[in-house]
Amino acid sequence: MIESDNKNIKAINAEIRNLWSESIHCRDQRQKFNEADEIYDFIIIGAGTAGCVLARELIYNVPNVNILVLEAGPPNTLINDKMRLPCTFSTVYRASEIDWGYITEDQTMSSIVEPKKEVLNKGITYPRGKVIWGCSTVNGMIYIRGQKADYDSWAAQGPEYKIWDYDHCLEAFKAVEKNARKNPDEEFKKYHGYDGLLHVQDSPFDTYEITKDFMKVVEDLGVPYNKDFNGARQNGFGKYQALGPPYGLAGGVAKIVAVNVKSFAHVLSIIWDEERKDDNIAIGVKYFYDGGVHRAFIAPKGEVIICGGAINSAQILMLSGIGPKDNLEANNIKVRKELPVGRNLQDHPLCTVTGKISIPNNISTSQFHSWCNGLKLGIIYKGNDKGKIPSREEFHDEHPDIQSYVSTIVFDPVINEYVNSKQCPPNFEPVTMISVLNLPSSVGHLELCSSNSFMQPKIFLNYYEKPDDLYRMMSSLKLSREILKQPPLSTVWGVKELGFNDEFGKWCSVDEEMSDEDWERYIRGKSYTSFHPCGTVKMAPESQGGCVNHRLQVYGTKNLRVVDASIFPIVPNGNTNAPVAMAAWRASRIIKEDYLKK
Ligand SMILES: Cc1cc2nc3c(=O)[nH]c(=O)nc-3n(C[C@H](O)[C@H](O)[C@H](O)COP(=O)(O)OP(=O)(O)OC[C@H]3O[C@@H](n4cnc5c(N)ncnc54)[C@H](O)[C@@H]3O)c2cc1C
């Protein structure tokens, strides 16, 4: 019995050895990999929100095409363990292997309150996802997509821009959304989709006691209730819906075989047709992969589509000779087409008031952590441009510009250091009121500082360059302080603010009072990004500072488009993930139309 078993094992071993040697033999006979053979109908640079939605929509809607998606970062499986934990987003985006690690420039400017004085906006870390799904892998999951007026203003740039008006964008928002709200009413159904890539949901948990108390306070202050921030009106307080990344790229295996997704593939520049160099015809891309430089080319009807996000798409264009002449020449880059690439950097600045719960309760803020990063309650209203606490009229104004939310994530660097230190007791319960300037007037810009594509561009945010930005932020922070002082937050929970006049910070120049000058120092010293850069490759007529036209084609080039947050002419009055997915969906329809016409 044992002998026959041994014989069988020997026979199997011999067979496996034969198969193995046969495979080696075959391998020798295989054709050598030839770079020029790497030809695709579409080459997509960047597998972020836009790149994933676009690849998915093109492969499903354009017959018989193949697509290459090049992503500089790793597969998202690398951080799956962290991503799936509650409230980890603030640690995930700090993980260096999946973040570009950008830092913005220090900027000195004239004080708004005391114009004779100089003030400093200190450089900040500027997280950007470097991973499959890009920033949507690391984002805070808040689902607010902006107002009708935002998209109508995109469309107002000329008759051909009508394809970006609210009605067209709403069609796309609905197409990319898979909303899980139970028993939606007819009004809700008008604004939401149920079969798209972005999973959107309400909290699966009951409203926490402390959230109810926050809601009571803001209602008493005169803020109206809003049951759908993405519905007909945006202002008011209410509970956020949360969103997931675009799951679609990984699904639909049968189709996906025609999409080649390469991670760890860093695109260096566009390859141009040098025989017809005056026409700026994109024919492929050069990228760094597996220790060497590779090239991939497009088929005759093909296109290169840059989806690198608001910082990197602008950088890739500039490295390829498309951008501001002075900046390119200063970096020894041949100018192919002069365009204001990188100029229109818009973002939502954020600043916070932090508090502490001093009467522990069996239902306390630690429970916020269990869903959606604790960001369950939103308060949206119009900021006061004189810096006063907003009035009832401003709460009811249907053109709000401030988004404020309640969280347990501590953005204040001094308090955050304490929270993460050994001195911090385990029952320390922080609560943060986060104010976001949703319609800022100040605009920043990017500049190349090298022709090396691995060096980050210089990022100038210009936060609070314009007075109304500073005063509106001031008005929101004053309101946050007021909210924390109100019962039952102050009585039942013993909420106390931190960091104004204590061991975490002394900002009040006179007693407990904050003068406008104190507020300006506080705001400039503590502001951070709410992670929504956009606009650096603006979609607009070329005469009005545009870099791409209404069909997202780069002016003065052929076969080259940009599809991501960088094309937004104006930052939406909401968060940016869904607008990016929406823009990618709309772009896929435009690209399909053009492709089928060729
Ligand atoms: C920490 C954080 C929290 C956020 N929270 C929210 C939120 O709560 N709600 C919300 O709506 N939005 C949120 N956002 C914003 C939202 O996620 C982004 O606006 C959106 O994902 C941007 O999509 P994109 O396609 O334009 O760019 P990205 O998602 O940044 O995708 C660009 C991709 O291109 C890749 N790439 C770049 N350069 C190259 C190159 N040279 N070669 C190859 N690949 C390259 C990048 O690695 C990246 O994967 C958050 C963002 C961050 C960072």
CA of 135 to the centre of ligand 1 (A): 3
Ligand 1: residue whose CA is nearest its atom 3: 139
pLDDT of 286 strictly over 50: yes
What is the Å distance from ligand 1's center to 309 Cα? 6
pLDDT, one tens digit per residue, over 432-473 is 999 999 999 999 999 999 999 999 999 999 999 999 999 999
Residue 375 reports pLDDT greater than 70: no
More confident residue, 22 or 446: 446
Give the Å distance between the CA of 338 and the centre of ligand 1: 26
Contacting residues for 90 by C-beta, under 8 A, at least 6 apart: 373, 409
pLDDT tens track for 572-598: 999 999 999 999 999 999 999 999 998
Provide, rounded to the nearest whole percent, the portion of the chain with pLDDT above 70: 87
Q: Which of 199, 576, 585, 586 to mutate to test the pocket of ligand 1 (most atoms within 8 A of CB)?
A: 576
Going by alpha carbons, the residue nearest to atom 12 of ligand 1 is: 577
Instruction: Determine if ligand 1 sits within 6 Å of the CB of residue 576.
Output: yes
pLDDT bracket for residue 216 (50, 70, 90):
very high
Q: Considering the chain, what is the average pLDDT of its residues?
A: 89
DSSP assignment of 472-506, as one string?
Answer: HHHHHHHHHHHHHHSTTTTTTS-EEEESSEETTEE
Range 378-398 average pLDDT: 97
pLDDT at res. 562: 98
Q: What domains are defined for the chain?
A: 37-75+249-345+535-597 (3.50.50.60), 205-240+349-437+464-526 (3.30.410.40)
If we measure between CA atoms, which residue out of 538, 511, 410, 567 comes closest to residue 87? 410
Binding-site residue numbers are 131, 267
Higher pLDDT, 411 or 557: 557
Q: Is the pLDDT of residue 115 over 90?
A: yes
Name the band, by pLDDT with cuts 50, 70 and 90, for residue 86: low
pLDDT digits 0-9 by tens, 194-203? 999 888 988 7
Q: Whose CA is nearest to atom 11 of ligand 1?
A: 577
- How far away, in angstroms, is 315 Cα from ligand 1 center? 15
Q: Where are the beta strands (DSSP E) in 15-161?
A: 39-45, 67-70, 102-103, 107-110, 118-121, 125-126
Ligand 1 pocket check: which of 53, 133, 136, 375 to mutate, most ligand atoms within 8 Å of Cβ?
136
pLDDT band at 138 (very low <50, low <70, confident <90, very high): confident
Mean pLDDT of 127-144: 88
Q: 43-47, 83-87, 179-183, 184-188: lowest mean pLDDT where?
A: 83-87
Query: Does residue 347 register a pLDDT over 50?
Result: yes
- State the ipTM, two decimals: 0.99
Whether omega for the bond prior to residue 488 falls within 30 degrees of 0, making it cis, is: yes
CB 529 near ligand 1, within 6 Å:
no
Q: How far is the CA of 307 from the centre of ligand 1 (A)?
A: 9
Q: Is the CB of 429 under 6 A from ligand 1?
A: no
Question: How far is the centre of ligand 1, averaged over its atoms, from the C-alpha of 393 (Å)?
Answer: 36
Nearest to 49 by CA among 283, 407, 313, 344: 313
Is the pLDDT at 85 greater than 50? The verdict is yes
Mean pLDDT of 257-263: 85
Residue 316 CA, closest ligand 1 atom number: 41
Cβ of 479 less than 6 Å from ligand 1: no
Task: Give the list of residues 6+ apart from residue 588 with CB closer than 8 angstroms, or none.
Answer: 53, 54, 57, 58, 61
Q: What distances in angstroms separate CA 443 from CA 180, 446, 452, 509, 563, one per listed residue?
A: 36, 11, 26, 30, 21
Q: Is 175 in the pocket of ligand 1 (CB under 6 A)?
A: no
Which residues sit in the known binding site for FAD?
131, 267
* 133 CA to centre of ligand 1 in angstroms: 7
CB of residue 373 inside a 6 A radius of ligand 1: no
Which one, of 90, 95, 102, 106, lies nearest residue 128 by Cα?
Answer: 102
pLDDT in tens, 38-73: 899 999 999 999 999 999 999 999 999 999 999 999
pTM of the model: 0.92
